[in-house]
Amino acid sequence: MTLSMYQATVPVFVHALENLQAILAKGAAHAEAKKIEPAVFMNARLAPDMFPLSRQVQIASDAAKGCAARLAGVAVPSYEDTETTFPELHERLAKTIAFVKGITPAQIDGSEERSVVLKMRSGELTFRGQDYLLRMALPNFFFHVTTAYDILRHNGVEVGKMDYLGKLA
């Protein structure tokens, strides 16, 4: 049995984004319990030259919706990137999950050879669909999900590997 492009995208993105929602909920609960201003977490970074938590979540959202849309051959929805609170990030992730879930197998399956063009600051990058998914979209997505997790963990939120992995069966 082969793994379809749909199976490698939509369920993977949804699972990780739902886990990220749960991790952010633990961050919000930790801030409330410890009487830490939530903005401290929103602006926290792992290194001075890295994006803060809020931006890491926004980019993870952008990576998921962008990949699903590009492989499905539909327009990528544009979000404002104005989230500054845990509830706003939760809402953004819910909106992203709903969009990604709306993509059907028929839209994505067969996109292995579809041309995907990314407009970067340095110019355009062109990929075949499968290469885009495996070499760009998934690694980028998981980098930002992991970094968001790491920022909260580094700042004392009690999250562990099972929070990141979520329900496995």
Helix (H) or strand (E) holding 141: helix 138-154
**Quick check: 1 pLDDT over 70?**
no
DSSP notation for 72-97:
HTSPPP-------SHHHHHHHHHHHH
Mean pLDDT of the chain: 96
DSSP class of 3: P
Q: Which domains does the chain have, with CATH numbers?
A: 12-104+156-169 (1.20.120.450)
For 8-43, write each residue's pLDDT tens digit.
999 999 999 999 999 999 999 999 999 999 999 999
Sequence-distant (6+) residues with CB within 8 A of 121 are none
